[in-house]
């Protein structure tokens, strides 16, 4: 609901919307947020929007300093993936890519990137070994990268412990980039992507679940970054059995680099994750999508440098988020299926 995840979690943004469109009717009818589309090129509005985003990023940085003891720069890109830890949601691909970026910073004098803080959060089921190993890897990479002064703060990694709705109210409004990178065909819908969208984050994701509708709502690829295999391609690989993680490892030097680092002592011993990817044949196509994912991050950084274009995309995401409100969903059920009328409370 927009009441909890925008009005409650981000009151300054809520106030800005009220003042801009001159109405509070969107509080009950969030589809009326689309009135903001008239202001997505209005520079004074976009400046205020950017200031509010920075305020929310400062709030998350303060929380991380207090709870994790990590200094993060609110001027860096805040790239956030918070959700249940599960192989199909591919937190493993995210952290492997961070390992790739870190290696490039250390070894390639021509490689550069905008300072980025990567946030992870979520819980693993008690018996889900690979998910727990993924959390262990994220923290091992964080320990190494966050304490390497030679990269000049270009990468910071934070694992937010005990993630839940109260912490979510600090996290969702602070995101510049919303990581929605599940293997295409696996996500039923997703709601975190909607919470990020209504707070002005740009979706970086696969064409899966509600990302499909988000892309349509924001007018296509100009206001989100889509990458990777499509659902029909994934299903075809499953049906034909023609995917080979071993082939990806042997033919893709970027993949080979990060998979080798799981077992060469760079971050400790993660033979479990190496075996999961290679011997178990990478069931969620992390290695297949790896280069496309890296390219998507390059695209994000290009866009982020164009400040007003980025803020325009942010505003377009907010303006077109009303369709995802649970109020609208319940109204549709009430009218079309249950055929009940609301009780008006005096």
Mean pLDDT for the chain? 97
User: Is residue 197 within 8 Å of residue 178, measured between CB atoms?
Assistant: yes
Maximum Cα interatomic distance, the chain, rounded to a whole number of Å? 69
Question: Looking at the chain, which runs of residues are DSSP E strands?
Answer: 77-82, 116-121, 155-160, 177-180, 202-205, 225-226
Could you say which DSSP state residue 35 is in? G
Lowest-confidence pick of 13-17, 80-84, 186-190: 186-190
Confidence of residue 188 (pLDDT cuts 50, 70, 90): confident
- Looking at residue 75, its pLDDT comes to 98
The answer to whether the beta carbons of residues 193 and 209 sit under 8 Å apart is yes
Is 2-338 in CATH node 1.20.120.530? no
Residues 13-38: pLDDT tens digits?
A: 999 999 999 999 999 899 999 999 99
Please tell me whether residue 158 adopts helix, strand or coil conformation. strand
Which residue bears the tokens 């860096």?
A: 76
State whether residue 41 is helix, strand or coil: coil
Distance CA 110, CA 112 (A): 6
Distance between alpha carbon 121 and the CA centroid of its chain, in Å?
11
Can you give the pLDDT at residue 302? 98
Dist. CA 2–CA 25, nearest whole Å: 12
- Residue spans per domain, the chain: 2-338
Q: What's the pLDDT tens digit per position in 151-185?
A: 999 999 999 999 999 999 999 999 999 999 999 99
Question: What pLDDT was estimated at residue 223?
Answer: 98
Confidence of residue 327 (pLDDT cuts 50, 70, 90): confident
- For 323, other C-beta atoms within 10 Å of its C-beta total 16
Q: How far apart are CA 56 and CA 60, in angstroms?
A: 6
Place of tokens 């009818």: 29
Q: Are strands 177-180 and 116-121 parallel, antiparallel or unpaired?
A: unpaired
pLDDT (tens digit per residue) in 97-145 = 999 999 999 999 999 999 999 999 999 999 999 999 999 999 999 999 9
Q: Is the pLDDT of residue 328 over 90?
A: no
Question: DSSP readout, 49-107?
Answer: HHHHHHHHHHHHHHHHHHHH-----TTSEEEEEES---GGGTHHHHHHHHHHHHHHHHH
């Amino acid at each position: 609901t927009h009441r909890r995840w925008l009005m409650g979690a981000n009151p300054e943004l809520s106030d800005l919307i009220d003042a801009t469109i001159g109405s509070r009717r969107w509080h009950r009818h969030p589809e009326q947020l689309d009135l903001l589309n008239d202001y997505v090129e209005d520079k004074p509005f976009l400046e205020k929007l950017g200031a509010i985003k920075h305020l929310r990023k400062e709030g998350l940085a303060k929380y991380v300093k207090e709870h994790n003891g990590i200094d993060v720069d609110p001027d860096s890109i805040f790239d956030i993936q918070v959700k249940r830890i599960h192989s199909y949601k591919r937190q493993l691909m995210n952290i492997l890519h961070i390992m790739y970026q870190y290696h490039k910073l250390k070894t390639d004098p021509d490689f550069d990137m905008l300072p980025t803080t990567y946030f992870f959060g979520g819980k693993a089921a008690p018996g889900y070994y690979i998910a727990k190993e993924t959390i262990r890897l994220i923290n091992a990479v964080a320990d190494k990268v966050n304490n390497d002064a030679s990269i000049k703060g270009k990468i910071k990694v934070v694992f937010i412990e005990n993630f839940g709705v109260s912490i979510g109210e600090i996290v969702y409004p602070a995101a510049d980039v919303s990581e929605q990178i599940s293997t295409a065909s696996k996500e039923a819908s997703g709601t975190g992507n909607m919470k990020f969208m209504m707070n002005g984050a740009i979706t970086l994701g696969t064409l899966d679940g509600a990302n499909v509708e988000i892309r349509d709502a924001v007018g296509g690829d100009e206001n989100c970054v889509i990458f990777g295999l499509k659902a029909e391609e994934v299903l075809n690989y499953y049906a034909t059995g023609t995917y080979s993680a071993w082939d990806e490892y042997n033919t893709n030097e970027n993949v080979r680099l990060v998979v080798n680092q799981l077992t060469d002592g760079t971050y400790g011993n993660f033979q479990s994750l190496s075996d999961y990817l290679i011997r178990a044949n990478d069931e969620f196509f992390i290695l297949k999508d790896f280069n496309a994912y890296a390219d998507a991050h390059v695209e994000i950084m290009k866009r982020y440098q164009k400040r007003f274009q980025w803020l325009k995309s942010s505003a377009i995401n907010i303006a077109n988020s009303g369709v995802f409100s649970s109020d609208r969903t319940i109204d549709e059920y009430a009218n079309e299926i249950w055929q009940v009328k609301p009780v008006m409370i005096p």
